[in-house]
Each structure stands twice: as C-alpha cells, then as structure tokens.
Structure 1
Amino acid sequence: MKKQNKPKVSFVHKALNGVEVVGNRLPDPSILFFLMCVGLAVITWVVSLFQVSVKHPGTGDAVAIKSIISKDGITMIFNDAIQNFSEFPALGLVLSVMLGIGIAEKTGYFDKLMIQVVQKAPKKFIVPCIIIIGILGNAAGDAAPIVLPPLTAIVFIKLGYHPIAGLAMAYAAALGGFSANFLIGMSDALLYAFTKPATNIVSDSIQTNVAMNWYFIAASVVVLLPAVYWVTMKIVIPRLGTYDASDTDITSEDSDTTISPKEKRAVFWANISFVAVIVLIVVTAIPQNSFLRNAKTGSLLNDAPIINGVGLLILILFLVPGLVYGIMTQKLANSKDLGKMLADSMSSMGSFIVIVFFAAQLLAFLEWSNLGIIVAVKGAALLQGQNGIVLIIGIILLSSIINLLIGSASAKWGILAPIFIPMLVLVGFHPAFTQMLYRIGDSITNPITPMMPYLPLLLSYAQKYDPKMKLGSLLSSLMPYSIVLGIVWPLFMIIWFLLGWPLGPGGPIFSK
C-alpha cells in the first residue's frame, strides 16, 4: 500500500498553533489578571530594594518606585480597590452600550439586517466594507470594538466563514487601525492635549494643531485595508476552517437565512429610525450654542457632551431601531418583554464584570507604584542620540511594547509625550512626527494586549460560538494582524519619511 503524505503545515500555522497551545495553558482570564496583580506587586517590591528612580522630564521631579508590598501599598489597596473597579474607564461604556445592542440583538433586528446585507451586496465587497467600518469607527471613540465584532460574526456565518474569524477581523480592524481615519476625531484631540504642553517644555515657537497628522492617518486607511483583508482571507479564515454550530447554544433561529415580508418592512423602518437618530444628532450639534458642544469653547471634540456621552448616544442609536423592529414584528408585545431583553443583555456580561475588577486593580497598581513611568523613561533613554529610520523603528517598537502594559492611549501618551517630544524636537523633528510614531506603535499591538478592556468582551463573544474557546486560541487568531500591521505600517511611515511629505496641515516632519 502506498504511504500517504501528510499535508505540509506552514511555519506561520506552526507558530500560531504554538501560541494557541501556550495560551490555552493560561488560567481563566479573571484568575490571570489576579496573578498579574500579584506578580506586579512582587516586581515593585524587588525593584524598590534597588531604590530605582527617574527624573520626570516634564516636572523635573524625582519619581521613585513604590512597593505595593508595603504599609503604604496595602493601605492603597484597601482605600482604592472598590473605587478602581467602579471608575474603570470602559465599564460604564460597555454596559451602557450593551443595553442598546441587546435590544437590537434580542429582537432579531441585527440578524435580519445582516441577512439583507449579505443577500443584496456582492460577496467580494462585504468583508472590505466591514474592515473600513472598523477602521473608521475609531472616530466615535471606543464604540467599534464593542459593536462591530458580534455583527461581523453573524455576517461571516451567512458568508459561510467561521464566525470567530469575523470577531477577530472586526476587533483587529477597529483596534489595530485605531490611529487611521479619514476624519479628525476624538483620539486626535486627546493626544494633542498632551502634545502641545510637551512641546512647550523646550520651545514656545513651534506651532502645533489637532489636524497635524491628518494626511498620514487618512492615507493609512488605504494601506491598512488590504493588509487586514489579506490576513483574514489567507491566514485566519483558512486556519479556523468550517463552522459547526451543533455543539453550541446557537439555535436554528440564529442561523435562519429567511426573511418574511413583515420582517422586511420592520427592517426598513428600523433602518429609517437609525438614520433619523443620526440626522437628529447632527442637526442638534450644528448650532454654536448646542448642548452637545463644549459650553465655553463651542468645540465638538474637546470636553464636549457629544464626546463625553458617546456611550449614551450609541445606546440610543441602537435602542431605537431595535424597539421599532421589535414592536413591528411583535417581538416586544409589552413592557415585560422589554425588561426581560434588557436583563438578558446584562446577564451575558457577568464574566466580563468579574475580569474588570482585577484588570482595574492592575492598572491602578501600575500608576500608583510609578512602575509605568519608570519603564517608559528608561526605555526612552535607549533612543537618545538616534535619528531617522532608527528613531522610527525604535519609538514604534517601544510604544507597542508599553501598550502591552498600559491600555489607555491618552494615559500612555501623557507619560511618553514629555519624554519623546522634547527629545526629538532637540534633534530637529516636529512634534507631529513624534506623535504619529507613537500612534502607530500604540495601535499595532492593540489587538493582543491584555490591558485592552475589550479583550475579555471579545472572548465572551467567541465562547458563544465555541464554548471551549480559551484566551490562547483567541490570541492565535488576533496575533497575525498585529504581526502584519507591525510590518506594513512602519514601512509605510519610513517611505513617507524618506519622501519628506508633511503629516498633515501644519505638521511637517522636521521642525528646523
């Protein structure tokens, strides 16, 4: 008998399989975050034995490591633990948004809408459109990684792909492409708030503005789209293979691809209501004295209710069409039906809330102990005396590594801006250039950082389709995006740098 040859497994697939095996040996995410808190406390104690300190580049004050395993550290834990949890940045936003999404999902609006999209749109355009929506979704803050993945999973089922591939693609597009957009958005304003004072440390004459990265971030959308698409079609989808819903709690109703005339009418009017809410928000925001604007400056970006209340706006944006669809299809016959759907939406968030408790403590430990600042300052010192392409690679790499420790983009930039910007201004680079390098590094590891509060949420989405899904398996589907973005985006910046093009209006590469 002729011996059959085993199919060859590519190096990439072997590496991802290794990541999956190692990752799956990790404990439950909530326990993992607890162990990380314990490990961080031990690290701060060990480092404190050597009396490590740095000079804060902004204030000039000495910043010393503080041990969590100390009287002050234990006092901090007891004083702040509950407050850290209750004030965790993403908790209120996620739970609020899930109320609106829950109604739109439980009534069946999302499912029937996706069926219509799949039935009407050419198949080859659906996936690129989702990627674009994910990248552009960062203009609304943190909405895209919450809203888009579950919708994409439904679409992928209809397309015949594995739904977890859709979850991974949407999450990676939204977070990996966080610093790319055709529009100037909230992230531009938040980063500029730290860039300007950091520039003033060494020079009051250099002009900066919110839009100084606009040209590059807009061009980046065009570059990242094919990169994310290639990873999805060539690596993630083939690796996950076909999807079998027999072992999950996905019902036949969930996979039903039919849509009745009554449901078509309901979807139509729900879509009309969705557009009407958007138009109402836009029209309301236009007047200079609008309650959605900053009362003092009239800005729609800086400390404006439309940005501060983005979670409430998203809740309303999905709640309204969900209600319209539910009422027209009689899925919502009375207030009891509505209350049950709202409760069901929250019940699915239990594991996420548990994880958030420990994740909040971890972030608080990093800040209180000054370990985050010390790591940033020590790492940035390695870049001194470098220039050009070496600086590009160095700052992007350092930013991407620090992103694995600190999730908040504005918090990291608040630490790094007073370090990076003065240093690079002194060697002739404009703050727009430095800011953009940081934004690239901050984005490319977003899909795989455990500090991103939406990773546990994504895992809960994935477990709906695969109850045995573990963190390692999920990360093995996300890592290819970070690897490819970590190659493509810095190369694009190097080409841009060599061409000498401005990064945006009032944003040249060189300040001299």
Structure 2
Amino acid sequence: MSDTPSQASRGFIAAIERTGNRLPDPVFIFFWLIAILMAVSVLASFIGLSAIHPVTDEPVKAMSLLSAENLRRLFTDMPATFTHFHPLGYVLVVMLGAGVAERTGFLGAAMRAGVSNAPKALLTPIVVAVGMIGNLAADAAYVVLIPLAGVIFAAAGRHPVAGIAAAFAGVSGGFSANLFPGQLDALLFGITEAGAEILDPAWNANIAGNWYLIMALFFIYLPVIWYVTDRYVEPRLGRWTGGTVTDTDEPISGPLTDVEKRGLIWGALTILAVIAVWIVLTVGPGTPLIDQEARPEARLTPFYQSLVAGFFLLFLLSGWVYGHVTGVIKNHRDLVKLMSASMSEMGYYLVLAFAAAHFVVMFVWSNLGLILAIDGAEFLRWTNMPGPLLLAGLLILSGFINLFVGSASAKWALLAPILVPMLMLLGISPETATAAYRIGDSATNIITPLMVYFPLILIFCQRWDKNFGIGSLMAVMIPYSIWLMITGVAIIVIWAGFNIPLGPGAVVDFSLN
C-alpha cells in the first residue's frame, strides 16, 4: 500500500473493536434486556404509566411482567412464543432451498461464470454486480466471489486488493441492493411484522415490500462502488507488480468445466420454469394466488405471501437440477442430506430467535412498546420534523449501531418493536421503516471489525500483501461506507419525499384508517 491509516483512524478503529468486543453475544443481550424489561414493567405498572391509543381512544396501561397472568403466559406459552416468531418460518423455509443451491455448487459456479471472462474495462462493475446479486447466496458470496475477484484482478494486471475490496463492497456494503428479494427480506420483514402487529394486529408481512427499492439500489450503488474502486481505492493502493498468487489452494479460480456449464444451463432453465409457474398461478381470474373476493388493493395478497414458498422452490429445484447434472446429487438421499446440512448451520440463528422472540412478545405484554411508540410519535409530531428526515435519522442510527452489533436480525429485533409502530403513528409504513433500517445497516457492514466475515476478508488480502492489517482494510473500505451512506440517505429522502412505491403492494405513506 502507498500509505497507512492515520493515528486518529487507527485509534477510532481500535475503540470500535474494544467496545464491540466488550459487548456480550447478541443472545445474551436479549436475555439482559428481558431482565431489565421486567424490572421496568414493574415500576411502570406501579406508577400507573399509560397512554391513549390513537385508533381506539382506549387507555393503554403498563402491565407488570411479574404479574401472575404474565408469568403464567411466559411459561405456558414458551413453545408457541418461539415457534410463532414470524422470522423463524420465513428464514428456515427459504434457507431450506438456498442451502441446496449453495452446497451443490450452483451459486458458486454462477458467480464464477459471471466474472471469470469479464472484459478488463468492465471488470469492476461486473464484480460488483455479481457481488450484489450473489448476496442471495449468503456464505457462498463471501467464500467464493471475494477471493476470486482478487485472482481475476491480478490476472488482469490490476491490484488484487482492489478486486477484493470491490467484491466486498458489493456483497456486504450492497447487502440490501439486489434484483430479487431473498433471505434478508424474509428475515427483516418477519421482524417488521412482529413490530407492526403491536399497533395493527391485522398487518401482514410481504417479503416483496422493498423490491422496487432494492432494484433501484442495485443500479445506483453499482456506479458508486465502481467509481470509488477505480478513482480512489485502486490509485491509493498503487500499481500492482506482484504477479499472481501461486500458493493459493482455492478451487474457485479455475475455469468452469463442461459439466458445470451444462449444470448452469439446466439450473437457469429450472429457474425460468419456476417463475413461469408462478406467473400462471397469479395471472388470470380464478387462479390460486389471486383472492377475487378481497378488495381490489388486497387481491394480490396471496401472491405476496406465496413468495417465501416461491423462493424456496426456486433455490431447491435449480440446485437439485444442477447437482444432478454435475453428479453432486446422485439420489434423493443426497438431496435430503444437503437440506439437513443447511438446517444444521441454522443452530445459532435458532438460539438467537428464541431469545429475540421472548423479548418481542414480552415487550407486547408489558404495553411498554406501544406506550413508547405513542409518546414518541407525539413528540416527533410536536417537533414537526418531515418524514424523510426521520427516515434519514433511522438510517444513520442503524448504521452506527451496526459498528458494535453485527447481526442484522438482532439489531432490528431490538429496534422494530418501538420504531415500527412509532413511525406508523406518524403515517410512515412498516415497509418504509424496514427500508431505512436495512440501507443504514448494510452501509457500515464493511468497516466494522465485528462483522463475522471481516477477519476472513483480511486473510484474503494478506495472501497478496503480508503486511496488510486490520487498519489497512478499514482504510480501504471507509470510502465505500461513506459514499454508500451518503447515497442511501439521499435515496430514502427522495423516495419518501416523492412517495414512490417501495414494492408491489407496499407504500411509503401509511394510514391506520
């Protein structure tokens, strides 16, 4: 590298790392918050804390979580509290299919095909675009695409760390930018639904609720990351004269075999077939995914709710077909093993979901979330702050918290029970609150050492530069984070200011009436 991070930059980075490492695991953060919530609920109930429900005009009183009724509910409803946690079913169903597509090598091969033969002049945008689409593949995008980008940049005579940085910025910084909804949408909207139901029990999640926005982010973030890579990051790294890596064991850097190419073709045809089936099930009167008896604006609700199943089948069948063609899946038992393996890696998420589910439901039982939302909304209404500025503030808040708590689901489970109903009372839809949160969260993914893949990215860089340290990686990625944050704020302000639809069936402005 041509320079090193300043002392102030290193001090800031070290402070973030020290502070974050002192925090307990997110699971125990929820357990501690439950204990605090119980104590606060007792005090709030004792002093008679209350608010007037803006829809029913009925008083909402704080309830003690140590009351006989709530303690009975806690212990008797514990299994139902866990299994009825909305994100749980959404995420597990999507991952059941995505795990097959990932473990057969279908997603990895698709990313290799996308960047391996990229023209030198278009190398950066192709790597970034594949990275943003590749975040549908979760782990595969980090493990396959990012080191591959370094190899391809070096082969083109460009600095490999610039390729790694561009891919990292696309996969992680552009985590909320994509052409299609995916696992993140299922995860976040499940939590949003739990928050929205505090105020409106009839509100149902639609995982396509941010589809238009994430597609726009894809086409907006692409030139931003391209510009930062080619005009700032790579010139700062200096000219690459180190040749290519010869000691890497990465199998991902080789060309696709004929069998893999055939598998990709059949996998792509399978995806098109699944999409065609969903179109047939949706278009025309009397089809299963249209409710003809509902109000005109609600007739497509079954279609939106079917998208979780749709993505499950899309990933499962395309991965199965690819695995069959390439020989990875020889019989149905192999398919079941791959599905089981994908579920085995969800163990930590299940533990986190158990803690988060109880925190959310106990927040509801205490009525503290609703009271805070009502009083907070009244305060914000008194300040007369425009909705777009409120959303910009939420975006920046989520980006800041992300520096210290890496899990997107953990942060949103903490914030959603208060912020979603609060913003609903101000006329801002749950889909819009989710959009602002996810943009801010992804913008700082790439600069926090507490992000789970950050050490792995550092190792990828050290294959090319042995002296490359954590401060070096932070210094390379900070320009991306700054520009993504600035761009994200501008987008959410414009989107809310002009009330542009966020997705099919989703709105920006919201009314409880």
* Alignment TM-score, normalising by the size of structure 2: 0.67
Match of 1:96 among 93, 96, 112: 93
Whole-angstrom distance in 2 between the partners of 1:502 and 1:99 = 36
> Structure 1 residues 340 and 223 mapped into 2: Cα distance closer, same or farther (>3 Å)?
closer
Whole-angstrom distance in 2 between the partners of 1:330 and 1:272 = 18
Counterpart secondary structure, 2:47:
coil
Whole-angstrom distance in 2 between the partners of 1:480 and 1:416 = 33
Match of 1:85 among 82, 85, 109: 82
**Equivalent in the alignment of 1:129:** 129
2:106–2:323 CA contact under 8 A, matched in 1: yes
1:231–1:481 CA contact under 8 A, matched in 2: yes
> Structure 1 residues 486 and 66 mapped into 2: Cα distance closer, same or farther (>3 Å)?
farther
Counterpart secondary structure, 2:115:
helix
1:293–1:299 CA contact under 8 A, matched in 2: no
Residues 92-129 of structure 1 show CA distances to partners (whole Å, capped at 9, x for unaligned) of 22222222122222222222222111113342122442
Query: What is the Cα deviation at residue 502 of structure 1?
Result: 6.6
Whole-angstrom distance in 2 between the partners of 1:216 and 1:338 = 35
> Structure 1 residues 481 and 109 mapped into 2: Cα distance closer, same or farther (>3 Å)?
same
Structure 1 position 173 matched with structure 2 position 174: yes
Structure 1 position 261 matched with structure 2 position 258: yes
> Structure 1 residues 508 and 103 mapped into 2: Cα distance closer, same or farther (>3 Å)?
closer
> Structure 1 residues 298 and 125 mapped into 2: Cα distance closer, same or farther (>3 Å)?
farther
Match of 1:393 among 389, 398, 401: 389
5 Å-filtered alignment, 1:402-441, equals 407=413, 415-416=421-422, 419-421=425-427, 438=433, 441=436
Counterpart secondary structure, 2:51:
strand
**Equivalent in the alignment of 1:377:** 374
2:96–2:312 CA contact under 8 A, matched in 1: yes
1:84–1:364 CA contact under 8 A, matched in 2: yes
Structure 1 position 113 matched with structure 2 position 110: yes
2:381–2:426 CA contact under 8 A, matched in 1: no
Match of 2:18 among 18, 21, 42: 21
2:177–2:215 CA contact under 8 A, matched in 1: no
Whole-angstrom distance in 2 between the partners of 1:462 and 1:47 = 42
Whole-angstrom distance in 2 between the partners of 1:274 and 1:496 = 31
Structure 1 position 274 matched with structure 2 position 274: no
Whole-angstrom distance in 1 between the partners of 2:336 and 2:430 = 46
1:176–1:445 CA contact under 8 A, matched in 2: no
> Structure 1 residues 267 and 7 mapped into 2: Cα distance closer, same or farther (>3 Å)?
closer
Match of 2:47 among 50, 53, 64: 50
Query: What is the Cα deviation at residue 159 of structure 1?
Result: 0.4
Moved more, 298-307 or 328-337: 298-307
> Structure 1 residues 256 and 73 mapped into 2: Cα distance closer, same or farther (>3 Å)?
same
> Structure 1 residues 103 and 398 mapped into 2: Cα distance closer, same or farther (>3 Å)?
closer
Whole-angstrom distance in 2 between the partners of 1:322 and 1:179 = 17
Whole-angstrom distance in 1 between the partners of 2:51 and 2:387 = 22
Whole-angstrom distance in 1 between the partners of 2:366 and 2:261 = 57
Q: CA RMSD in A?
A: 5.2
Structure 1 position 65 matched with structure 2 position 66: no
Report percent identity of matched pairs: 26
Counterpart secondary structure, 1:309:
helix
5 Å-filtered alignment, 1:195-344, equals 223=220, 225=222, 252=249, 255=252, 257-297=254-294, 304-344=301-341
Whole-angstrom distance in 2 between the partners of 1:29 and 1:435 = 24
User: Amino acid of the residue matched to residue 102 of structure 1?
Assistant: G
Query: What is the Cα deviation at residue 148 of structure 1?
Result: 4.8
Query: What is the Cα deviation at residue 222 of structure 1?
Result: 5.4
Whole-angstrom distance in 1 between the partners of 2:342 and 2:211 = 38
* Count of residue correspondences: 436
* Alignment TM-score, normalising by the size of structure 1: 0.67
